[in-house]
Structure formats: structure tokens, C-alpha cells
Amino acid sequence: MENNLRKRLFYFPKWIFLLVYLLWFPLFAQSPFTLRSIDLQSYPQVKVRLHVNGVLDGSGFTVSEQVNETVRLTDTFHWDKQISKNPIYLTISIPSYSNAEDRRWLLNLASQLVKFSEQSGGHSKLHIQSDDSFHVFDRIRSQVLDVSFPFPKENPSQFPIRNWERLVDSLPKDHSTEDHILLLVSFSKEWPDRFEIPEFAKRIRDKNLKLIVLSPNSLEANKLVSYAKGDFYSIAKQESFESLFNDLKERMSPDWILVYDSPWKLSLWKENEISVTLSSPTSGNPFEFSYEISPFQTFYRTLSDPLVFFPVSLFLILLCLAALYYLRGFERTSNREVAALPLEPMSSVETFERKDELAVYDRMYGETLEKAAREREIALLTKEKESLPGTSYTYAVIQVREGSQLYEPIPLQWDEMTIGNFESNHIVLHDPSVSGLHAKIKNRKGKYILFDCVSEAGVYLNGRKLLRPKVLHHLDEIQIGKTILTFRGRY
């Protein structure tokens, strides 16, 4: 008697839980629809592109629009199925292998996933997890994923989240309505960098990527999937792979276009926000979405229409050409009018005086210019004959020292040798603090003169900043950035 009573008490809560679950499950069931885009080009006709999970039965649906607090039902709507498949763009991250069996299994998995993406019209990217290197194969094809594929062998990744963060950072943000899926494969149950999961999930959402995790069942994997609103498949169960490929096949199926006439027929040049509800007694919860109408969007849609854009562009181009032609012709006409103005006749006396005055000015200015040229030549010759202070050397070299490293001496064999960070210099210094053209050394009759080429960091000669060109002497030390250059001369 007591045993029967205990059994009844033991099973009673389970029946209550099952009853509550059956009653409340329809209220929380996910909608089979995913919104792709809304086309308002032919408003009041609205075209809504939807992705449907499963088989769509177009009967029994009702479409209603709500503006403010008023709801109206549309009378006419129909479903059109697209011909082309929905493209899937996969970014697959797989761990490296430890033996030949793991290598075959990973290549087979990646090949099947890439083949699904190719069949849908998309493309794939393959990432090999590594703590030391970043291996990514962009737009990889399924044909190359065979035994000859150059699969890099890396040590097991100790920080998978950081690996995946580098991968996500390298991906552009998805602004399209297609499926861009990040598929992460892991053999590890524990992730040492699990404290970075919330930030990593935020990056996935910011990139507008759909997450799929294929790994052992663990708290870290479930937490990442929960934060990023993704899907989890256990790598230890065979049925998980069947579910994964079935879900990818569902995503690949063609989208549906819901076409209906808006019951409001609002003006496109006024701002309004319309909430739409698509409901059916067999689809569970109603699917809700909204769209906006504004003058800016209407102007943009009108201008982006090819039937409007090209004629308007052609008209503006012709208008600019006509304006340029008119201004050009107006300028010519003005010059002709000025040239056609009547000139007062000059007397013979004024003409003679004018010619005499021009001759005097030509002779005077010509003599002045010739005199200035002769004086400049004399000054240059005098400057060349002046003797510079310092010692003349028949042979000189520069000894370069960077820290404790000493390089081979560089002979100063040209009349002018440049020093800087550019590869075109005679002496190249790989120092970020050195300017492209930092300094130069000129050979003037055996005397070597150091110049600062207006550098940012400056040039130091024997510990003092070079303010003007100076003649170098034997064993002078030149400091440019962190490099020491020693001048050595031989008589």
C-alpha cells in the first residue's frame, strides 16, 4: 500500500510538468520564417522576401498592417517561390590533426561542408586553428580538399577563443541578406580562455554572422551558442552531423516572396512606420516585422531606379557641357568686342617719342641684366677659389655602428652621398626615427662637408647638434637617430 502511494507521488509531478509543457510549447515555438528583405519599389504593392524552414502551405494565412493603433487586413496577397537557391557563405574553423586518421576525418568534413556551399552558389573560407600562425584558405574549393591538400600540422590550440577572435576580426561585416555562417569545430571540452566568451559573442553579432558550433557537449560551448544566438551540434553523436547537413540544406532552399497590396496606401513623401503581422492557425506564433516610409528613402529608391538614374545623369552631363560651351563662347565674344573697340589715332610726334623711350629702356635693362650675370659668375668663381677650413683627405670611409653591431666601412667615393631611411640613399639606416633623406656628405676638393637635410630628429656631430654645414675631421662621430657613424680619413 505504501509502495503504491509512493509511486503515485513520484509520477505525479512528471505528469503535471508534461501537461504544462504541452500547453505552453505552442506559445514559445519559433516562427518558421526569416526575413530577408522588403521591396517598396512598387508601393502600395509590397514584396517581402522570406526564408521558410520546412514546407510552405500558402493557404490560411492572413496579412495585417498596423499604423499607430489601427489595424487593417489586406484583401489580396499571394506567394511566389524563387527559382535560384539561397547562397550559403561558410567560414569554417577546424583544429589541426595529430594523426593520419584525424587528418582524413577533418578533410572529409571540410570537403562536405564546402561542397554544400558550392551547390548553393556561395563560397567558403577555411581556417586552421593555431596559437603561433594564422592559416586561412580563402575561396577554397572542395576538389582540393583531398589527400594532397597541404594541411599544416600545428600543436593543439591552447586558446581557441583567441584563435577565433583573430578569424572574426579578419572578416568584413555582412550587410547583405544572405546567410554568412561561422562554423567552429573543436575537439576540446574545456577552453582555458573561456572568460573571453561574452566579448567574442558580441563580435560575432556585430559582424552579423550566424554561429554554428560543432564540439563536445560542454558548458563553454553552450554558453557561447547562447550568447551569440547560434546552433550547437555534438561532435560525439552521428545524428548531429545528419542534423547539421539537413539544416544547411534547409538554408539552401529557395526563398519565398510574399506579394500583397498595402491596405493603407500611404503617401511616400510622409514619414510613417508600419507594423506587419503574418499569421496562420497552423504556423504557431504569428510572424511580425515592420518597415518605414520616409521622403529620403523614397527619393533614394526613385533615383536608384535605372529608368530614372540614367536619363537624369545624361541630362545633367549635357547641361554641364552646354554651360561650359556657353561660357567658352562668351569669353571669346568678349575678347572680340574689346579688340573691335575703336582706337584713337596717335600723332607722329607721340609715336616717335614712344619708340625712343622703348629703345632707351631696352638698352638700359639689357645692360643691367648682363652686368648682374657677369657679377654672379665672378662671385661663383671667387667662392670656388676660397679655401675651406679643415684637412683634405685623399680617401675617406664611414664606419656604421648600431648598438653593439659594427658594419663594414663604407667608402665615400662619390661627390655627394646621402644618408636616410629610403632605399635610394647611398647609406641606408633602418631606423624609424630616421627621416627618408636625413643628411648628406659632400666631397669638395678632398674636404668632406656634413649637411643636415632639414630632418625631424636632427644630426649630432661629436655630441652637439649640427646647426650649419661643417667640415669633417678624422674620427669625428656623427649620430643619426640611434646609429653612430664614424668618419675616418686618410691623407
Query: Residue 68: left (phi > 0), alpha (psi -120 to 50), or beta?
Result: left
Cell numbers describing residue 139: 575561396
Domain ranges of the chain: 33-84+254-297, 89-252, 395-490
Spatial distance between the Cα atoms of 329 and 318, rounded to a whole number of angstroms: 16
pTM of the model: 0.53
Whole-angstrom CA distances from 257 to 60, 239, 240 are: 16, 33, 31
Q: Could you tell me whether strands 45-52 and 256-261 are parallel, antiparallel, or unpaired per DSSP bridges? A: antiparallel
**CATH T-level topology, domain 33-84+254-297:** Immunoglobulin-like (2.60.40)
Query: Residue 361: left (phi > 0), alpha (psi -120 to 50), or beta?
Result: alpha
Binned average pLDDT, 10 residues per bin, the chain of 491 residues = 43 42 42 82 89 77 89 88 87 92 92 91 92 90 89 88 92 84 92 90 92 92 91 90 89 88 88 88 76 85 79 88 77 47 50 58 54 62 62 89 86 91 90 90 90 89 90 92 91 80
89-252 has which CATH code? 3.40.50.410
Tell which CATH classification among 3.30.70.100, 3.40.30.10, 2.60.200.20, 3.40.50.720 matches the domain 395-490.
2.60.200.20
Q: In DSSP terms, which residues pair with 184 in a beta bridge?
A: 93, 213
- Asked if residue 227 lies in contact with residue 194, where contact means CB atoms within 8 angstroms, the answer is no
Q: What is the pLDDT of residue 8?
A: 44
DSSP string for 370-406: HHHHHHHHHHHHHHHHSPPSS---SEEEEEEEETTEE
Q: What is the pLDDT of residue 2?
A: 43
Q: Is 323 helix (H, G, I), strand (E, B) or coil?
A: helix
Q: What is the pLDDT of residue 203?
A: 93
Q: What burial class does residue 69 get, using C-beta atoms within 10 Å of its C-beta: 0-12 exposed, 13-18 middle, 19+ buried?
A: exposed
The beta strands (E) that lie in 248-298 are given as 256-261, 272-279, 287-293
Q: What is the pLDDT of residue 210?
A: 92
Cα dihedral 189, 193, 198, 200 in deg (nearest 10): -100
- Asked if residue 390 lies in contact with residue 491, where contact means CB atoms within 8 angstroms, the answer is no
